[in-house]
Amino acid sequence: MASDNLKEFLKVKNSTETNADLFFYGDIVCDEWDAWTEEDQYPLAIKDFLAQEQGKDLNIYINSGGGSVFAGMAIYNMLKRHEGFKTVYVDGIAASIASVIALAGDRVVIPQNAYFMIHKPWIGLCGAYNSDKLIKAAEDLDRIEEGILNVYQDNLKEEIDIEEIKEKLSEETWFTGKEASNYFNFEVDEKKEVAACVSDYFDKYNKVPHALKNKIDKTSNKKENNNKKRVQLKLNLLKLGGLND
């Protein structure tokens, strides 16, 4: 089951009495049933992790294409409340809501050739919608965007106006680490081999850099096969549960 694998993945690596490591190397999802790979993260898992590592300094490693904005904001707020000093390392990509999670750090380190992507929030619609419902959905998205912009504004360099970030948000902007440091209070590290990142969200983005897209294409089949295996596993577990009733 994905939750069992996730618990293994969340085991503290290089843990000491004062430090612990936390990894965001998959999608940000709402709960354990949405965690199709052991790398996917969700708020309850992070809550349990932080309770276990109360007061410790954290090294947070991010290589994520994003995910649920609500789950991501919950994770961001939990990390901000954590009392230890938090150092964030963007190992490859901090895209969409993962860019917000990255800003929970007291210190953010990003290689020159890593990516930091921001865009306007969106939702998928299904069913019948009249104009009133569509207007309400747009208003909700505007409120979500305002919350995200508040986080970005708290982490901007003094000379940067939030209006510049609003424009970048509208355009779906993929900053390199070096470019991102022109806007945000980041420490830029030397170029590194960027770790491959596979996410269900890359197909929804419009401006994925070609160099990154090539890496994604090479690794996407692996995640698709893993997802199929996990779907079958969960179906088997549901069948077993039915037999036990």
* C-alpha dist (Å) from residue 167 to 149, 151, 164: 11, 16, 5
Q: What is the pLDDT of residues 25-73, one digit of tens each?
A: 999 998 888 777 888 999 999 999 999 999 999 999 999 999 999 999 9
**CA dist., res. 169 & res. 245, Å (int):** 50
Residues of the chain with pLDDT under 70: 1-15, 192-201, 214-245
**CA dist., res. 124 & res. 1, Å (int):** 27
**CA dist., res. 67 & res. 59, Å (int):** 21
The per-residue pLDDT of the chain, averaged, comes to: 84
Catalytic status, residue 210: no
| CATH number belonging to the domain at 2-244, selected among 3.90.25.10, 2.60.40.10, 3.90.226.10, 3.10.20.600 | 3.90.226.10
**CA dist., res. 169 & res. 89, Å (int):** 22
**CA dist., res. 122 & res. 118, Å (int):** 12
Catalytic status, residue 119: yes
Please tell me the chain's helix, strand, coil percentages from 3-state DSSP, rounded to the nearest 5.
Answer: 45, 20, 35
Q: Which of 64, 68, 82, 96 is catalytic?
A: 96
Q: Which of 64, 68, 82, 119 is catalytic?
A: 119
DSSP labels, 117-159: EE--------S---HHHHHHHHHHHHHHHHHHHHHHHHTB-TT
The reported pLDDT for the residue numbered 204 is: 79
pTM to 2 decimal places? 0.81
* C-alpha dist (Å) from residue 65 to 27, 130, 133, 136, 171: 6, 32, 29, 27, 17
**CA dist., res. 94 & res. 62, Å (int):** 6
